[in-house]
Amino acid sequence: MLDLRDVTKSFGGNRVLDGISLTVERGEMVCLIGASGSGKSTLLRCINLLEPIDDGAVFLDGQDISEPGLNPDPVRRRIGMVFQSYNLFPHMTAEENVMLAPRRVHGKSREALRPKVTELFTRFGLADRMQHFPDQLSGGQQQRVAIVRALAMRPEIMLFDEITSALDPELVGEVLDVLRQLRSEGMTMVLATHEMKFAAELADKICFLDAGRIAEQGPPSEIFKAPKKDRTRAFLARIL
């Protein structure tokens, strides 16, 4: 469903993505691992068209979404993204955060949205937090609201950029549980993550990024148990 072909991206003279090719099938969960600065965030931002790519192509269901000059808004509606720092809108309640995009983009009224939004909040254990502002919520709750906000647009694919990295350790579990739930519902997902145990348990495919290249990719059993490349082995030895 998502198909990256030889994607390159530079900032100034710094080549951050250097020929990335990757396919993600419908319902798959792909985890991007790699050292800080290896290009994981940039790759996700390029898929969501928050950054234009320099060369190569990104296909979503066969459509070339990396076409320069393409209106990015309709594409972004089909792709949900969740960030490391939550990025909730601080001046809105949790419910308003979630309703803003469906209201403006799909032109639906609050009343029409309420049943489905309430259902989403309930599904992720946030039913009693809908009227709270972000600064009244814990990090884990904020991140779950951010996930609900992305889901409310009914995306076909979700991107997660190290969404547990800013959380206190005891809050990581509740956010990972949300991901497990989404996984079981068949959501297509691409994650940049340092949660290796979680990736090993749930991912269909692991991609090890090293200096803007996919140094190695394969099922978790291969990457974690029997990595072929020295770089992968060195990285895993450092992190595990």
Ligand X SMILES: Nc1ncnc2c1ncn2[C@@H]1O[C@H](COP(=O)(O)OP(=O)(O)O)[C@@H](O)[C@H]1O
**Footprint of ligand X on this chain (CB under 6 A)?**
11, 16, 34, 36-42
What, of Mg ion, another protein, ligand X, none, does residue 42 touch, CB below 5 to 8 Å by kind? ligand X
Query: Does residue 76 interact with another protein by CB under 8 A?
Result: yes
Q: Shortest distance, CB of residue 33 to ligand X, whole angstroms?
A: 9
H or E element: which one contains 123? helix 110-123
Picking from 224, 223, 193, the residue whose alpha carbon sits closest to that of residue 36 is 193
Amino acid identity of 110?
R
Query: Does residue 117 interact with another protein by CB under 8 A?
Result: no
Query: Does residue 160 interact with another protein by CB under 8 A?
Result: no
Which residue, 39 or 140, is less far from ligand X as judged by CB?
39
The two three-digit tokens of residue 124, written as one number: 């992720």
Buried/exposed 168-181: b ≥16 CB within 10 Å, e otherwise: eeebbebbbebbee
Helices (H) and strands (E) in the chain, counts: 9, 10
Picking from 155, 177, 151, the residue whose alpha carbon sits closest to that of residue 164 is 177
- Residue choice 1, 100, 211, 236 for contact with another protein (CB under 8 A): 100
Q: Shortest distance, CB of residue 21 to another protein, whole angstroms?
A: 24
Q: Shortest distance, CB of residue 53 to another protein, whole angstroms?
A: 16
Q: Shortest distance, CB of residue 135 to another protein, whole angstroms?
A: 9
Distance (Å, whole) CA 175 – CA 154: 19
Contact footprint for another protein (CB under 8 A):
45, 48, 50, 72-74, 76-77, 79-81, 83, 85, 87-91, 100-101, 104-105, 146, 149-150, 153
